[in-house]
Amino acid sequence: MIKKIVPLFLLVSLVACNQVEFEPMDVSGLLGEKIDSTYSIARLKKVFITDESLFSANKISYAALDSATKSRIDTTITDIVINGIVTSTDVEGNVYKYLTIQEEMPGGQAIKLSVDVSGLSAMFPLGQRVSVVCNDLYIGQYAQSVQMGVFYMNSERNRIEPGRMPKLMARKHIIPYGMPDPSAIRPDTMTIAQIRTSGHEMINKLVVIKNAFFTGNGSSSQKRPVRLTDAELIFAPSTNGIGYPQSREIQDGTGSVFVSTSEYAKFATKPIPTSNHRGHITAIVGWYNDRDLSPVASSIYHQLTIRSLNDLGKGFEAYRQSLN
């Protein structure tokens, strides 16, 4: 019995002599370093979106610009860099294979980055600050909604679109720095009327709408409100695999707009709040123009994307509690 105890005692003594406390590592050093901006998002759009068609994609390269554009920009700046904070998250499944980043400055704009990666928030979590090296990426419009990615020719519809950049390319062009800080995100407070009268400068921005409520209406094929049946009073009924987003109308006393949800979102089958629940709704502003799919001369409309049910904030506490 003593022979068994002595080795154990020696082992414990040796472990006790080893250092088990170390200086904590600065994990922020594992990330990249910020690259100073050479362009704002607004200027990036102005200089490099030279095709105003419904669907387009232009290479971000000085060589690709016409002489008139070159004559009015500083051609000594060769690195085209923007900075922003990640305002999107795909954890709940209502954001799919894209990031939205927003500039942290008064009047700063936002842009969508298309990336061919599922679970993108593991790479670029909510509140992560990033520098985006835009050289050789493509910027363009999908239904006149600006986004950045790679050149993509949609052969099925015979049109050019900004496509999703592969993972390795995203790692090269989107450089995270510092630690994620969701509390640093500052959404704009806006009314629905203000959103609907805004232009491209508001697209992909995060906003908060106060005193908002769900009306119990969905959307018709003409993007007009239509009353939902009892079975449809959820965020996104199944489309049997087609995959188009489902629209649910909200109002705030100044106007109405649709909130769009994917049937693949984790909260797709949750009931939408009844109209007696009114409060703050946070959402990413979307814009879509489906003129090529509609006989109507102009079919531009706004649509909002909530990232999770936590985007139903103050005033919706009782609703969220009822789901538990």
**In the prediction, which pLDDT does 56 show?**
86
Closest CA to 258 of 169, 195, 204: 195
**In the prediction, which pLDDT does 236 show?**
96
Q: Choose which CATH entry (3.40.50, 2.40.160, 2.40.50, 2.60.40) describes domain 188-322.
A: 2.40.50
Which two structure tokens, joined as six digits, stand for 4? 């068994």
Which residue shows structure tokens 């990031």?
A: 99
d(CA 322, CA 77): 55
Asked if 147 contacts 49 with a C-beta cutoff of 8 angstroms, the reply is no
- Biggest CA-to-CA distance, the chain: 94
Contacts of residue 177, Cβ cutoff 8 Å, sequence gap at least 6: 28, 31, 32, 33, 34, 129, 130, 131
Asked if 96 contacts 113 with a C-beta cutoff of 8 angstroms, the reply is no
Strand partners, 117: none
Strand partners, 178: none
What pTM was computed for the model?
A: 0.86
**In the prediction, which pLDDT does 67 show?**
73
Alpha carbons within 13 angstroms on the beta-carbon side of residue 226 total 10
Burial of residue 61, with CB atoms counted within 10 A of its CB: 0-12 exposed, 13-18 middle, 19 or more buried:
middle
pLDDT along the chain (324 residues), means of 10: 45 47 49 92 91 82 72 74 98 97 96 96 97 96 88 88 95 97 97 92 96 94 85 93 88 96 96 98 86 48 94 98 93
Asked if 284 contacts 307 with a C-beta cutoff of 8 angstroms, the reply is yes
Spans of all domains in the chain: 29-183, 188-322
How does DSSP assign 80-146, residue by residue? -EEEEEE----TTSSS-SEEEEE-SSTT--EEEEEBS-SSGGGTS-TT-EEEEE-TT-EEEEETTEE
What CATH number labels 29-183? Answer: 2.40.50
**In the prediction, which pLDDT does 15 show?**
45
d(CA 229, CA 20): 63
Plot region of 257 (φ>0 → left; ψ -120 to 50 → alpha; else → beta): beta
On the question of a common fold for 29-183 and 188-322, the answer reads: yes
Which residue shows structure tokens 């769900």?
A: 214
Which two structure tokens, joined as six digits, stand for 147? 């986004």
**In the prediction, which pLDDT does 252 show?**
97
Asked if 88 contacts 119 with a C-beta cutoff of 8 angstroms, the reply is no
Which two structure tokens, joined as six digits, stand for 226? 């239509």
**In the prediction, which pLDDT does 11 show?**
44
**In the prediction, which pLDDT does 156 show?**
87
Strand partners, 165: 115
